[in-house]
Structure 1
Amino acid sequence: MKRVAYLLWLLPLGACENKKDVAPQVPTDFATPADAKAFFYDLDAQQMRAMVGRDSAFFARHYATTYYNCTPYGELNDKATEIQTLLRGPWVTVEAIAPQFDVFAHSGDQALLTNTKRIKIRTPAGESFIYVRRTIGFQKIDGRWQGISGQGTLVQTRYVGQ
């Protein structure tokens, strides 16, 4: 009889549909990992166009207030300084190359993209190319994806297959 009473007592617990997760789940903006990757690659393409087009509004909108970037020359730029650097650069073209070396990660409200850029620049001696391995970290802040950190490293062409 004790056993039957015990089982009857547990029955409502098994039928309960109001179960709570152990930890709150972060809703995602993307239906699939491929959608997330496509979004951040498109954002990267917009940034490359903004560099060539000297679009300060793009950088002001897409970089967080606390954004910092370590340049290929070892300088640490805050948001305002980085925007000025990007606007004053001698960029002719900026393109992503060597996708086989890209790194992309996304989880919840953070993402990271690393890829290689070939940048055509104007110099006093004429036009030339530099190659930069670029990493940018993103975070969703106030409902918008914003760059929170960046880092660029000059690479030699033999390392990117050119």
Structure 2
Amino acid sequence: MKNVASLLVCLLPLCACDKKEEAAPQATPEFATPADARAYFDDLDAQQMRAMVSRDSAFFARHYAPSYYNCTPYGELNNKAAEIQTLLHGPWVTVEHIAPQFDIFAYSGNMASLTGTKRIKIRTPAGESFIYVRRLAVFQKIDGQWQAISGQGTLVQTRFVGQ
């Protein structure tokens, strides 16, 4: 009982304080709903696919952070400059998003990631063919702008794996 009385004596000054401090203002969320966030990053992904085909270096320079790194489907590690060169000089004819049912999207505060599958038509010495790539992009809001900070592409088989 003596311990309880001692605890109350210690806590009493805290309860007697009339001054109430306001909580720090909370930042306004970037997106109204998770669906809005998903739509924004899906659109950014679509812009990147168009930029690959049109060889739009300005898009990549603007949307890739200075510290950007990408692991290519062939196991190479590219920094921002090397990745832009790869994307500008690739044999891309078309790039399309497929199998959205297998996409993975995550968003929290100033970070987001998007994983999806791409079907890429390429020109080769033997003619045109397709490659399929499972693509991960990680984004961070830097100085008020969403930028890709890393990526990874993995070649996938062309066989169907499930519903």
Shift of 1:29: 1.4
Shift of 1:159: 4.3
Amino acid paired to 1:151: Q
CA contact (8 A) 1:96 1:118 kept: yes
TM-score between the two structures when normalised by the length of structure 2: 0.85
Between the aligned partners of 1:26 and 1:41, the Cα distance in structure 2 is 24
Question: Counterpart of 1:20?
Answer: 23
Q: Unpaired runs of 5+ in structure 1?
A: 1-5
TM-score between the two structures when normalised by the length of structure 1: 0.85
Shift of 1:158: 1.1
Question: Counterpart of 1:113?
Answer: 114
Amino acid paired to 2:23: K
Question: Counterpart of 1:93?
Answer: 94
- Deviations 1:49-77, CA, capped at 9 Å, x for gaps: 00000000000000000000000000000
Question: Counterpart of 1:3?
Answer: none
Between the aligned partners of 2:134 and 2:23, the Cα distance in structure 1 is 44
Residue 86 of structure 1 aligns to a residue in which SS?
Answer: helix
Residue 77 of structure 1 aligns to a residue in which SS?
Answer: strand
* Residue 141 to residue 53, structure 1, CA distance change in 2 (3 Å): same
Residue 158 of structure 1 aligns to a residue in which SS?
Answer: coil
Number of aligned positions between the proteins: 149
Q: Unpaired runs of 5+ in structure 2?
A: 1-11
Amino acid paired to 1:50: A
Give the % identical residues. 75
CA contact (8 A) 1:64 1:146 kept: yes
* Residue 130 to residue 109, structure 1, CA distance change in 2 (3 Å): same
Amino acid paired to 1:32: T
Let me know the Cα RMSD of the aligned residues. 1.9
Shift of 1:160: 5.9
